[in-house]
Amino acid sequence: MKISELRKSIRISSVAVIVGLSFPVSAVEINAGDVEASIYGFARLNVSYDLDDNRAVSTRAGTFSPADQDITGHFGADVQQSRLGVRVNHASGLKVVVEGDFRGSGNSAGSLRMRHAYGVYEGVMIGRNWSNFNSFVGWTPTLDFDSLAGNAGSFNRSEQVRYTTGPVSVALENPSATIIGGNAKTGTPALTARVESASGSLKYSFAGLVNQLSSDDGTTDESQLAYGFFGAAGFSVTDSVSIQGAFTYTDGASSYLWRSGSNYYGASAYMNGDSLETISGYGSQVGVSIDVGGGSSVKLGYGLARLDLDDAVSDGALTGADAETNQNAFVNYTWTPVESVMLGVEYGFFDQETQAGDSSDARRLLFAAQYNF
């Protein structure tokens, strides 16, 4: 593959991931007058085997929270990651996407879960989509659905109003936060801004967010300014090798620090008497992607998310047993034997360390088979 073709492929893949469209270009097309619609999605089976502690959650993804490390060897399979979506393009320039999957809290397929529901017109996007404080530029793809700790920004979706012009996008988003010992109040939307572009073999993304973090129990009403920023980059070393990475920092915005706390998002703040105290944290990840030919690729990635809980513990809001540092690593091999079919196997390592320094780790294997349409 030539470098120019590789860059084009990367751009197409990045756009597909960002809007949640993990499907081949040839979806099921429907034309009706001024409307062009496509139905897309995939059927996917995930099979996991936990060599140590049972860490599997829905989609057989791995959790950082330990269960019972005295019991080893856990097998399971589910199809909850399977996805279904509709994309509509109108002659007026309006674009609409509605997408869902079947991920639930258990280990068997449940009802359809809303992932995306938004419309785009003249650079204005309104609805539910990936947070604008997010980028896949520095992300190393994994078979594990919950992926690496320390992703660039939020790895979740939010209701928002976003305006994009060229490489710049600004959004007002529905925020979320957990406050220990307080009653989190949403008084204002979160403001996010992002720049994402490419130059030659380099792709890059930078973003920032600010949000009013508030706790109001009817008697005590306290607020703090929460903020965060990230930088992410990916570089094509050769036609078949790329490296990528990201760094995120938050203060009072742990809900935008992926895989912090017990598993997904840690607490953003805590009440210390009548005072609202923010919790800071950071995350990072780095990885390598290698195209080995014949429709096969190998990817290696490492991620870390860490909260600063020292003050929260000394003030009595948390204990030394609370999770402070999460780190994981993956190596996977994927193969596309025919168009629209992907088979893969992955080894994953998870480690969680408490504020007191106690550590629990686990190793696991994951197999995936995905059939796109």
> pLDDT tens digit string along 312-358?
999 999 999 999 999 999 999 999 999 999 999 999 999 999 999 99
Give pLDDT, residue 18: 37
Give start and end residues of each alpha helix (H) in the chain: 3-18, 310-314
**How far apart (Å, rounded) are the C-alpha atoms in residues 14 and 131?**
15
Give pLDDT, residue 12: 34
The DSSP H or E segment spanning 40 is strand 35-50
Give pLDDT, residue 30: 83
Judge whether residue 4 has pLDDT over 60: no
When the pLDDT of each residue in the chain is averaged and rounded to a whole number, the result is 91
Long-range contacts of 21-25 (CB under 8 A, 24+ apart): 21/85, 21/87, 21/97, 21/99, 22/83, 22/372, 23/85, 23/372, 23/373, 24/339, 24/340, 24/372, 24/373
Domain that holds residue 187: 3-372
Provide the percentage of residues in the chain whose pLDDT is more than 90.
87
Best CA proximity match to 100, nearest among 198, 213, 202, 22? 22
> pLDDT tens digit string along 192-235?
999 999 999 999 999 999 999 999 999 999 999 999 999 999 99
- Of 9-23, 107-121, 258-272, 291-305, give the lowest mean pLDDT range: 9-23
Give pLDDT, residue 1: 40
Taking the alpha carbons at both ends of the chain, their separation in whole angstroms is: 25
- Based on the structure, what is the number of domains in the chain? 1
CATH number of the domain within which 83 lies: 2.40.160.10
Give pLDDT, residue 107: 53
